[in-house]
Amino acid sequence: DAGITQSPRHKVTETGTPVTLRCHQTENHRYMYWYRQDPGHGLRLIHYSYGVKDTDKGEVSDGYSVSRSKTEDFLLTLESATSSQTSVYFCAIQDRASSGNTIYFGEGSWLTVV
Amino acid sequence: AQSVTQPDIHITVSEGASLELRCNYSYGATPYLFWYVQSPGQGLQLLLKYFSGDTLVQGIKGFEAEFKRSQSSFNLRKPSVHWSDAAEYFCAVGFKAAGNKLTFGGGTRVLVKP
C-alpha cells in the first residue's frame, strides 16, 4: 500500500462539463503521475509532476490540465469533457527509496462521459 | 521514443500448466523493467521488477522474469498456474533519466481453464 487515494472512484458526467479528479498521497513522494487506461493501449501517461508546482506533459496530454499546489495532492482536470475521455484514470507515485524507483498505482477512477 | 510490445493479447492456459508472457521493448539504454498484474475492476499490483544485477528476478505469487539484453525482452513465467492467476498482465519500461515515466505494453489477458 503506497498510501494513494483517488477520488471520486466513479463518475458519470455530461459532454462539455469540467471534471476534476483528485489524487492524494500520504508518504511525501516527490514524483506523481496521471495515466489513463484504455483497452489495447495499456496505460498511457497524461501528465506528471516532479514537485510542487512542477509539472510536465505526457504522451496524451491534450484536453487535460494538472495542478500540484502541495506535495500530497495532484489534481487532474478535464476542462470540457468529451466522450473520448471516457476511461479509467490511475494516479501513481514514484517511490525513490525503492530499488529501481518503483511506481505504485492507486485504485483508479472510472469516468464516463455521456 | 521507447515502445513496449506484448505480442499476445489473450492467452488461455489450463490450471497447473506453465505460463509464459512475452514482452519486448525498444530503446538504446538499459531500462528499468516491470511486470504488473490487474484483476478486473482493480488497480495495478507490482509483480516484479528488474533494474540491475541478476537477470533472473523473482516476484510475488510464484512469478519470475528474465531480462535478455540481446533480445530486448523481459518475459514473465510461472511454472504452475492457479485459477487465481486469471487477470491482465502489463509489462512496463522506465528510465531513470526520464523521471522513470513508464511506458506500458498493451497487456495480455490470461484465462485459466479448470
HEC secondary structure over A40-62: CCEEEEEEEEEECCEEEECCCCC
Q: Which of A33, A50, A104 sits opposite B46 (nearest CB)?
A: A104
CA neighbor of B25 nearest in space, from B75, B64, B59:
B75
Query: A13-26 burial, b if ≥16 CB within 10 A, otherwise e?
Result: beeeeebebebbbe
Establish if B51 touches chain A: CB-CB under 8 angstroms. Answer: yes
CA-nearest of B32, B18, B6 to B64 is B18
- Three-state secondary structure of chain A: CCCEEEECCEEEECCCCCEEEEEEECCCCCCEEEEEEECCCEEEEEEEEEECCEEEECCCCCCEEEEEEECCEEEEEECCCCHHHCEEEEEEEEECCCCCCEEEECCCEEEEEC
Q: Quick check: B53 contacting A, CB < 8 Å?
A: no
What is the rounded distance in angstroms from the CA atom of residue B82 to the CA atom of residue B77?
13
Contact call for A107 and B99, based on CB within 8 A? no
| Of B95, B105, B102, residue with least CA distance to B75 | B105
Cell numbers describing residue B62: 510464484
Cell of A6: 483517488
Q: Specify the pLDDT at position B95.
A: 77
Interval A26-36: pLDDT, tens: 989 999 999 99
Cβ of A42 within 8 Å of Cβ of B104? The answer is yes
Radius of gyration (C-alpha) of chain A in whole angstroms: 13
Residues B55-107: tens digit of each pLDDT: 999 999 999 999 999 999 999 999 999 999 999 999 999 876 666 788 999 99
On whether any CB of chain A is under 8 Å from the CB of B46, the answer is yes
Of A58, A90, A100, the CB nearest to B101: A58
Query: What are the tens digits of pLDDT across the range B7-63?
Result: 999 999 999 999 999 999 987 677 889 999 999 888 899 999 998 888 999 999 999
> Looking at beta carbons, which residues of chain A come within 8 Å of B102?
33, 43, 45, 92, 103
- Residue A55 contacts B where some CB pair is shorter than 8 Å: no
A95 vs B82: which has the higher pLDDT: B82
More confident residue, A98 or B33: B33
Please list every residue in chain A whose beta carbon sits closer than 8 Å to the beta carbon of residue B39: none
Count contacts between A and B (CB, < 8 Å): 66
- pLDDT value of residue A39: 86
CB B11 within 8 A of CB B21: yes
